[in-house]
Structure 1
Amino acid sequence: MTSVAHSERPRVLVARAVFPDIIDLLREVAEVEATPDDAISTPETLRRRLADKQGAFITGSERIDAALLDACPLLRVVSTMTVGVDHIDLAACAARGIIVTHAPDVLTETTADFGFALLLAAARRVGEAERYLRAGQWTKWSVDLFAGADIHGATLGIVGMGRIGQAIARRAALGFDMRVLYHNRNRLSEAIEADCGGAQHRALPALLAESDHVLLALPYSPQAYHLIGAGELALMKPGATLVNIARGGVVDEAALAQALHNGRLGAAGLDVFEGEPAVNPVLLAAPRLVLTPHIASSSLPTRRAMARLAVDNLLAVLQGRPPLTPV
């Protein structure tokens, strides 16, 4: 790669500490202001540090809104290493001619692996059992010790049948002989349904009523806020499992905790939370609930691929080429 003269280089903010060797690729064409202390702590700090920048490398923790953009008149491109873009005001960016890119595809399989792992851990009560053993409470074997629900041969309902949902469906049908139902705004083609183990489209109420396990993998939007609330949880089979790897706001957390306390649900697994990184205390007190800190895509190869794609998108735009994966 040919270096650009110092005086001609655009300025880029990297808003979170991330793989230094990948960020070094940006330094060939840009003046990079990195974040050595892991993350930018406040919106005001982000606004101040972006004010004289042409490019931004962000993650899902940094919010790009109209107020920030008004303070950053030079900004040309925002590149997030996430696939979701609910933390970016796309309309405000478009109105100002700012290109937004994201990182689809590279995290699909890893996230699907984790979604299935969380389903298994919740339904088979893995978290409870480990804590019980570590606390020294295991003194004898019993027939019903942490007896959970079967995954193989059961019915899985997937809400959100995009790339990740389809990857989960293939694992379910081909690996665990599960019957797969899905809910999407639009029905998939017959060819995709067949590739997903004969997945069948359902309206959301029907999917909830028929499924032994429900997994949420839909993109977040205002319409998805508390899509799963008390009414929807009441439609689910007694003893069913709910897993959320989408966004925290999709689930009414208080209603979920209540459904676990009263035994309506058999188990649940959450990798995302409405106020993350803060976690609603009602969840911490709920039984039969596996909680993980938003790590569905967190394998080292995948996180490196996400960061590299974000950098490649920045390099493309700053060098006058089309971005690889625009939103």
Structure 2
Amino acid sequence: MKSVKWGILGAAKFAREHMARAIHAAEGAEFYALATSSSEKAADFQAFNPNLVIHDSYDALLADPEVEAVYVPLPNHLHVEWTLKALAAGKHVLCEKPMAMKEADFDAIIAARDASGLLAAEAYMIVHHPQFTRAKELLASGVIGDLMLVDTVFSFNNAEDTNNIRNKPETGGGALGDIGVYAFGSARFVTGEEPVSIRNAHIVRENGVDVFTQVMAEFPSFAYQGTVSMRMANRQHITFHGTAGHITLTAPFNAGVYDIAELILEAPATERHVERWPTVNQYVLQVENFGKTIRTGAAYPCPLEFSRGTQAMTDMVLAAE
């Protein structure tokens, strides 16, 4: 299979530390080009890919006929604009989450995707990790009985990093957009259900951005409670609690960075069962799945419609505040 040639719009820290390296390592992918006007930032990427083509503007990279797919790691408020520009330039697009700041903003992206025949998707990497497909499989098997509660938490503390785009309202900052997508989307992905109502949404803001959100929601067959925060010590956790047992993911979101991915199944009908994935890189799997969809037409694990559903839940939370 011919490798997909990738370009990255901007020399973001996350792109440098994770996604650029994942593209470089992925089977069927080539990290071909980077758009940045900073030679210093470019050097950080050239350190592991000396043959990298450097463009001094985003538009120049989009005009490069060699680039087939574009990764967009720009600040949140620029995601829709540059996703649409990349699609208009004939490029497949993988855009960081949240892809849009409200559900209605997905309309233009979905229309552009359908009109172009190109692949456009949110970089929601967790659904590419086998721990989530395994949790989905176990839940569907009935091993924990009827699902009663999904409990999620995702937190970190970046209070001292005042220049971080997550702490700035003008760049679409806030915990809900940055990590709420994981807390909400993971519950939706594993259960296959959509929220019916938000029973409670407690949101704390600082300088115009949400830094702590606690949510209680009702799904058709279970209750949901979740907390996301940018002002609490690092923690990640999901539990799917049923009438006959529970499934826990101990490093659900930054597997391999926060901790080793681990799934724990506890149910009276079975012995305590633990599965671990110490070497899986979900970013690499995301790139490889993206390439397979482009080259073979295989179904992509995270279509825009799924991402739109997560944003719809976020909108519901904000409306319930």
TM category (shorter chain) comes to 0.3 to 0.5
TM-score, normalised to structure 1, is 0.38
TM-score w.r.t. the length of structure 2 is: 0.38
User: Normalized per residue, which structure has more strand?
Assistant: 2
Larger radius of gyration: 1
